[in-house]
Amino acid sequence: MTEITKEIVAEHGLSESEYELALEILGRTPNLTELGIFSVMWSEHCSYKSSKKWLKTLPTEAPWVICGPGENAGVIDIGDGQAAIFKMESHNHPSYIEPYQGAATGVGGILRDVFTMGARPIANMNALRFGRPDHPKTRHLVSGVVAGIGGYGNCMGIPTVGGETNFHESYDGNILVNAMTVGLADTDNIFYSAAAGVGNPVVYVGSKTGRDGIHGATMASAEFDDDSEEKRPTVQVGDPFTEKLLLEACLELMATDAIVAIQDMGAAGLTSSSFEMADKGGVGIQLDLDNVPMREEGMTPYEIMLSESQERMLMILKPGREEEARAIFHKWELDFAIIGKVTDTGRMVLTMHGDTVADLPVAPLADSAPEYDRPWVPTERPAPLGADDVAAPADLGATLVQMMGSANIASRKWIWEQYDHMVMGDTIQRPGGDAGVVRIHGTDKALAVTTDCTPRYCYAHPETGGAQAVVETWRNLTATGAKPLAITDCMNFGNPQRPEIMGQFVGCINGMREACVALDYPVVSGNVSLYNETNGTGIFPTPAIGGVGLLEKSEQMMTLAFKGAGETIMVVGETTGEMGQTIYLKEIEGREEGAPPAIDLAKERLNGDFVRSLIHGGDVTACHDIADGGLLVAISEMALAGNVGADLDLGEALPAHVAAFAEDQARYVITVSADNVEAVTEKAKNANVPLQIVGTTGHNEIKVGKSASVSLHDIRSAHTNWLPGLMAAPGSDKE
């Protein structure tokens, strides 16, 4: 038997004090299997030891929340006995090492989190951050990640309806791949993970267990160094076909009442799933590892418990229902094995070849997982930058073209055309708008889904950035006419043991909390990915937010495309000229400075509710929120989508480039038919909402008074060609 040395403990990522605690809990030295279990259970990934204290401060309740954080995914009520179930999850480290499989299995994992709760997935999203475009690895990573996401989601037949993609040098050594899934279930048929019923069978279904990704969970929490590629950590290979079968088989079994509890095997596989189920139910579990379906010979208990083979589930069945369940899984040609039973001992007892190979108390291991109050320092808010701090460009028109063809604004069509975004026949707003919208099959309702975060704001001032990420999702949903209901988050940060990084985390959480409270927009699920650092350089703090909203009447859905000529273009909200941390500043002046635009949550709510009421009232013909790049970029996106130009007058209050590219928040562009302008103006006045007429739609160009006149054709070339151009450039290693 392997002797447990200091080195072995360290290799398992346990600190000395954590190991002390383990010894105390156990009252003896753990064997290797037990040590492995401690190590994955107490990894950052599974235990949230650095983040828990702060996550707890987020608002998680609302009358429409059926299940908040803590289960496999969050559940909200969307009326008529139906629920939306959703979550976002990271697969950052594996995707850097093997972009195709890393991203693919990330999608597979988040899909399981959602269908494990009884939902049929109806939409996928993905939030991606890559290094600078000309970094030698960027193209290889972009092409692999996008192909992997598509490869998995397309095969599953779930439409990928949107996402976001950023490029910034802070991600050169640590890309972010965050995947989100939204599913649909009946409120009276939702499945949870708490094991119950002493004597009930514990059942394993899905793929066989191999030696995949052993230590994946600890890898996902370990900082990178330059030779992590050399170590070739065990990467899992996804099998979307098996997952599709698993989905259909699980839903078929879920239509009966045979299941007591169910949990997918994700990170830390059988270990975390069995412990979580036992812990939630306050019971013990006894597993006979000989019965675990195995792909390879000679697997040890350690390997079986730590394997991260994909496409597997663990269930507790009601007594006597085993054969019925087995028949369903066999029909779908999947493995089905009874591997243990629920006990009243409160312990996890594992046997193999007749020996007890591990015997651990469940609750202490799961609940006394270390929880740290890590030291943190707040980030000072930099001074704002206004009109005086940013020189005017020589040529506003050329600047617009440059902005539209810049890394973080250019069209992502090259990406979403590789995703099946229409399968299931309910996508009524495809990628390219403010949010993806899918009808709820067979009803008048629809769900809008978006993911957003502006990491450069979060870096400059985490609190503002955290709030901004939340409000941007809320605005994006609002712009489609949907009522925003709840969010999921994916908190991607550097090393939390550095106080400034921990300060970023705390700041972002604080900002998110305020925004969620002010907007009645609770957090129902989420995920934390820390240690996104290479050689001591962390990523920009990136709290990716996934928002879900409801359209009661799908016919009321709004899109951003200009619908025709002669309509009046209006801006809802105020433009004061916030130039700090703008795309303009970075792309045109090469500066990353100043405070991010200020957030006024009361105004966000007021303006957003106003816009939504206009949309529902039929007053608006197009709507788009103003975000990255400011007003002129938003208008240009609307023009390109509708293939109709605009004749603009941005007023005299601000210099043209500031009026055009400032990133003031709480703003929307709407178009209104000429005969409705007066009525809408009146409504704005009554609602106390700032509203400004900025121009008229028409012709084939964007014209800004006397300052600029650019053809849509030129804008379109810059906008659509940037990403394909980047990806087609020669010399990229690996296809």
Partner 1 sequence: MKARVTISLKNGVLDPQGKAIEHALHGLGFEGVGDVRQGKVIELDLGDISKEDAPATVDKMCTQLLANTVIENYAIELLD
Partner 2 sequence: MKAAVIVFPGSNCDRDMKVAIEQSMGSTPAMVWHGDSELPETDLIAIPGGFSYGDYLRCGAIAGNSPIMREVVKKASEGVPVLAVCNGFQIATETGMLPGALLRNANQKFICKDVDLQVVGRNERFVGEFENGQIVRFPVAHHDGNFYADDETLARLEGEGQVAFRYADSDGNVNDATNINGSRNNIAGIYNEAGNILGLMPHPERLISEQLGGTDGKIFFDNLINSLS
Ligand X SMILES: Nc1ncnc2c1ncn2[C@@H]1O[C@H](COP(=O)(O)OP(=O)(O)O)[C@@H](O)[C@H]1O
- The site for partner 2 (CB under 8 A) is made up of 147, 150-151, 154-157, 239-242, 244-245, 332-333, 416-425, 427-428, 430, 439, 554-555, 735
Query: Distance between CA 714 and CA 700 in Å, rounded?
Result: 10
Query: Distance between CA 308 and CA 127 in Å, rounded?
Result: 23
H or E stretch including 542?
Answer: strand 542-551
Minimum gap (Å) between residue 623 Cβ and ligand X: 11
**72: phi then psi, degrees, rounded to nearest 5:** -65, -30
* Residues in CB range of 724: below 8 A, 6 or more apart: 414
The verdict on 604 binding Mg ion (CB under 5 A) reads no
* Residues in CB range of 661: below 8 A, 6 or more apart: 399, 403, 579, 582, 583, 584, 629, 630, 631, 632, 633
207 binds, among Mg ion, ligand X, partner 1, none (CB under 5 to 8 A by kind): partner 1
Closer by beta carbon to Mg ion, 307 or else 480: 480
275 binds, among Mg ion, partner 1, partner 2, none (CB under 5 to 8 A by kind): none
Binding mask 595-634 for partner 1 (x = CB under 8 A): ----------------------------------------
- The site for ligand X (CB under 6 A) is made up of 126, 128, 162-165, 412, 415-416, 431-434, 452, 476, 627-628
Alpha-carbon distances of 256 from 118, 183, 242, 727, rounded to whole Å = 11, 19, 22, 49
Catalytic residue from among 12, 45, 93, 168: 45
Positive or negative, the CA dihedral 561, 563, 565, 568 is negative
Which residue matches tokens 């693919």?
Answer: 104
Minimum gap (Å) between residue 476 Cβ and Mg ion: 4
**Single residue of 162, 206, 210, 541 touching partner 1 by CB under 8 A:** 210
SS3 212: coil
Minimum gap (Å) between residue 664 Cβ and partner 1: 43
**Single residue of 89, 98, 276, 434 touching Mg ion by CB under 5 A:** 434
Binding mask 284-313 for partner 1 (x = CB under 8 A): -----------xx------------xx---
Instruction: Tell me which residue of 497, 514, 496, 516 sits closest to 505, measured CA to CA.
Output: 496
**For residues 150-209, which are near partner 1 according to CB under 8 A?**
207
91 is catalytic: yes
Which residue matches tokens 């000395």?
Answer: 16
Q: Which stretch binds Mg ion (CB under 5 A): 34-42, 385-393, 457-465, 469-477?
A: 469-477
**Single residue of 31, 170, 181, 242 touching partner 1 by CB under 8 A:** 242
Minimum gap (Å) between residue 707 Cβ and ligand X: 24
Residue 34 tokens read as 């037990």
Minimum gap (Å) between residue 607 Cβ and ligand X: 16
45 is catalytic: yes
Judge whether 538 and 498 are in contact, CB under 8 Å: yes
* Residues in CB range of 678: below 8 A, 6 or more apart: none
Minimum gap (Å) between residue 489 Cβ and partner 2: 28
Closer by beta carbon to Mg ion, 35 or else 435: 435
Minimum gap (Å) between residue 482 Cβ and Mg ion: 12
Judge whether 411 and 719 are in contact, CB under 8 Å: yes
Strands 160-167 and 120-130: parallel
Rg for the chain, CA atoms, rounded: 26
20 binds, among partner 1, ligand X, partner 2, none (CB under 5 to 8 A by kind): none
96 binds, among ligand X, partner 2, Mg ion, none (CB under 5 to 8 A by kind): none
CA dihedral 203, 206, 211, 212 (to 10 degrees): -130
Task: Give the residue numbers annotated as catalytic, written as ranges.
Answer: 45, 91
